Amino acid sequence: MQFDTSGLQLQSIAGNSGKAFKGLRSDGTPVFVKYEMPPIVSALAREQITPPVLSANREVGMGHRVEQEWLNGRTLERQDMTSKQIRQILVRMHYSRILLNQALQMNYTYMEPQDLVYRWQKDAPTRLGQNSYLQSICQDLLNNLPRFRQEVATFVHGDLHHSNWVETTSGLVYLTDWETACVTDRMLDVAYILTHYIPRQSWEEWLRAYGYKYNSTVLNKVYWYGQLGYLNQIAKHVESYNVLAANKEIYALRQFRQSFYKEV
């Protein structure tokens, strides 16, 4: 057990690189504490997209520190991701001008499609930089960039894996872990949900309910951003030394590329 500068007793939470803790106040009240949390989290909490923020400050040598309510509940599982509540939260986040303006004021910049690919190439683990198949996909993405319109870009999460969603015992669903957030085309989030959780035969219904048309232009964007979503997930698994999960994701990416236009 350790203590932070505010006197909280801290217990490290596994799997968060030493940045996340369960804190206990002097009266025994549990709280969630995370260091190096993006400042945008406070705005997200006000929009009821992420758990309520109790306090936020900057500590010397530790970065931005956020204290949130400790939630009793569970992490979502794969089968939960077809819920309408997931789509509704994404719509609320993606269409929020308040969040977009807050992000831009906090020095988030517009990321065009090529910027997303360059970021992956720059940040991905070294072994992925040496993977000829994945690098060929990056080149293919750069050669076939989708249209990007800054005026309709929005604030997106960037990693909607089911482990980043929590449901409280009262049924509230929240999105967590905002380190990958950026300002770009909302299709980065939408394509990830479609390709990883929604059956292909349900794509049209899901897209229309979200607010998209269902046509070749939209599907071409799903194809482009869907591949990027696989690349991001592969890098995440490799970074956490989960080789089995990374290989499964690479296989799924191959299948996605081979079958996508056959099923349109």
Domain ranges in the chain are 2-70, 74-262
Rounded to two decimals, the pTM is 0.90
Domain over 74-262 is classified CATH 3.90.1200.10 = yes
- The structure tokens listed for 66 are 């956020």
Buried b (16+ CB within 10 A) or exposed e, 180-191: bbbbbbbbbbbb
pLDDT digits over 65-123, tens only? 788 888 888 999 999 999 999 999 999 999 999 999 999 999 999 999 999 999 999 99
Q: Give yes or no for residue 21 having a pLDDT over 60.
A: yes
164 or 6: whose pLDDT is higher?
A: 164
- Would you identify the CATH topology of the domain 2-70? Phosphorylase Kinase; domain 1 (3.30.200)
What is the band of 36 on the pLDDT scale with cuts at 50, 70, 90?
confident
Amino acid at residue number 100:
L
- The sign of the CA dihedral 254, 258, 259, 261 is positive
Report the catalytic residues: 159
List, for residues 126-138, the tens digit of each pLDDT value: 999 899 999 999 9
The band of 180, judged by pLDDT with boundaries at 50, 70 and 90, is very high
pLDDT at 1: 47
Q: Among all chains, which residue has been given the structure tokens 């394509």?
A: 191
- Cross-strand partners of 7: none
pLDDT tens figures, 235-251: 999 999 999 999 999 99
Q: pLDDT value at position 29?
A: 79
pLDDT tens figures, 54-66 = 877 765 445 577 8
Contact at 8 Å (CB) between 156 and 190? no
